[in-house]
Amino acid sequence: MTARQLRLAAYAVCRRQDRVLLARWVSADGAQRHWTLPGGGIEHGEDPCDAVVREVAEETGYQVRVERLLGVDSQTFHVDWGIPGGAELHSVGVFYRAEITGGELRHETGGTTDRADWTPAAAVPGLERSVIIDIGLELDRARPPSGHVPPLPVGGLLRH
């Protein structure tokens, strides 16, 4: 039987003119890196809105105010996390639009990201990145009434 894992996370879309705030995720061994939206796992008992505020501060140094809920994304895929046979991961992401209210840009130390940066939105498609970015930007652009966008195909520069 394949192991099953659930990941519940909250992410922020923060924009400044034509730029979007991104954080660079790095694997525990430092061998893998890709860009993602600031955000991450929701702790037990934590409200997703509070989680995204905490995560943005940890990963970027900024304080934010949540402006609105953009939507929720749910995906299931196979991962190999050193578990014999791997695991089926059910990833649920809660996406918010957030406004920077204070703080200064800085890189996280000792966490799951090693860099934070304002990136031109036009440059995002050329980045090695998590599908989380594309989902968040599409939710922010389309603002679907259902709060849901169709699954995006992963491949090339686009990672889970």
CB crowding 76-98: b at 16 or more within 10 Å, else e = eeeeeeeeeeebebebbbbbbbb
Q: For residue 13, what is the domain's CATH number? A: 3.90.79.10
Domain count, the chain: 1
Q: Is residue 160 part of a domain?
A: no
The pLDDT of residue 82 is 66
Q: Is residue 71 part of a domain?
A: yes
The pLDDT of residue 4 is 84
Where is 141: in which H helix or E strand? helix 131-142
Q: Is residue 34 part of a domain?
A: yes
Q: pTM of the entire structure?
A: 0.92
Count of CB atoms situated within 10 Å of the CB of 126: 8
Q: Is residue 26 part of a domain?
A: yes
Q: Is residue 156 part of a domain?
A: no
Q: Is residue 153 part of a domain?
A: no
The pLDDT of residue 83 is 66
The pLDDT of residue 81 is 63
Residues of the chain with pLDDT under 70: 1-2, 81-83, 158, 160
Q: Is residue 155 part of a domain?
A: no
Domain of 83 in residue numbering reads as 3-146
Q: Is residue 139 part of a domain?
A: yes
The pLDDT of residue 1 is 55
The pLDDT of residue 125 is 95
DSSP tally for the chain: helices H, then strands E: 2, 10
